[in-house]
Structure 1
């Protein structure tokens, strides 16, 4: 955010103004001052073209500044508060029906310029601080994501190990079941052979003793 223009106005009459960049602000400022008079609110914000105009209305005096960042509201508000406090003791200057003298205008412009440079520089430091904070947040987020990936990998490896163990156990169970089935079949087969032999012997005995007629 950069404060590119500022002024102090009595109603719609600009008493002092200062622009740090080239370009014409008069038409936009005139529209904003008209809006301030119509709304009669202490603070007003209006976007015209590529600039955002912030105003502070105190006792009929409008303190105005233009910025190039529509998202920043705190810095322009603090700037206008400081400018209004700086000139609160010189309120007679803004209520005179005639324009202030050139020397007074120069003094006011000098103070406006210092305030603008102060807040622009502070905003630059604030942006650097924010950038450092964002870099730190990104590093922290990356570290957390890496930790999560490692934990997920550990869980996946553990799951794969369990799956392998289950497969091994399943194969071992199948082998054991097969062996048991073969043993049971062979045992049952032996029992059938024995029972068949006994039955055959009994039949032969019964036939030989003529218990069963031939």
Structure 2
């Protein structure tokens, strides 16, 4: 990926611009700047023709660059962040009226040229850094997911233990209830036998004494 064009604009007024390749960027840049004015978001991306235009809106100033790769947004974003940070550190940035003096325009162009050269030459390092960042994010996400799984497993184990304890308590209660029921049944059975025996004895006595006759 190559940053082929960059500029700094106040509204639709271009304060400084620099192109590394031939071709006309003015119509596309004008369209993108209009889009930024209509929808003032911090960062926007638009594909026009064979180039992708990235913008950064900071303190009312639009920083823009064009690249020849649709997929890569990390390097252009880093480029625009550095350009905006460097320009905002210029003490004359917010003191002069716009359009700025030739000295400020020259400073802006130097910043653009320096950053374009830096990011175009070191894009491999930025890709590696981005990959490392993505790997770190994936690893952190996996660690969080593993932690959540372990917490779920711990809660599940606690629930299983409670279920097992409840089942044991239920079985113990059932055994106790069964024993109590059998004991009560035998007790009632003995009482019935005793009462029946006493009743039979009384009947025999009454019959033997002719108190009752058959």
When normalised by structure 2's length, the TM-score is 0.59
Report SS of the residue matched to 1:207.
coil
Alignment of 1:125-204 (within 5 A): 127-204=130-207
How many residues get paired? 195
- The Cα shift of 1:154 comes to 2.0
* Shift in alpha-carbon separation, 1:57–1:8, aligned structure 2, 3 A: same
CA distance in structure 2 between the partners assigned to 1:44 and 1:165 by the alignment:
63
Question: Does the aligned pair in 1 maintain the 2:92–2:104 contact within 8 Å?
Answer: no
Map of 1:65 onto structure 2? 64
Over the residues paired in the alignment, what is the CA RMSD in angstroms? 5.0
Question: Which of residues 38, 41, 51 is equivalent to 2:53?
Answer: 51
CA distance in structure 2 between the partners assigned to 1:108 and 1:167 by the alignment:
79
Question: Does the aligned pair in 1 maintain the 2:54–2:77 contact within 8 Å?
Answer: no
**Unpaired runs of at least 5, structure 2:** 94-99
CA distance in structure 1 between the partners assigned to 2:186 and 2:58 by the alignment:
100
- The Cα shift of 1:151 comes to 0.9
**Unpaired runs of at least 5, structure 1:** none
Map of 1:18 onto structure 2? 19
CA distance in structure 1 between the partners assigned to 2:90 and 2:135 by the alignment:
33
CA distance in structure 2 between the partners assigned to 1:179 and 1:157 by the alignment:
33
* Shift in alpha-carbon separation, 1:197–1:34, aligned structure 2, 3 A: closer
* Shift in alpha-carbon separation, 1:141–1:55, aligned structure 2, 3 A: closer
CA distance in structure 2 between the partners assigned to 1:107 and 1:24 by the alignment:
21
* Shift in alpha-carbon separation, 1:118–1:84, aligned structure 2, 3 A: farther
Larger radius of gyration: 1
Question: Does the aligned pair in 1 maintain the 2:207–2:213 contact within 8 Å?
Answer: no
Deviation per residue, 1:18-43 (Å, 9 max, x gap): 247x975321213355678x89x9x9
Deviation per residue, 1:74-110 (Å, 9 max, x gap): 8624413425767969942577xxxx9xxx9x97774
CA distance in structure 1 between the partners assigned to 2:87 and 2:179 by the alignment:
92
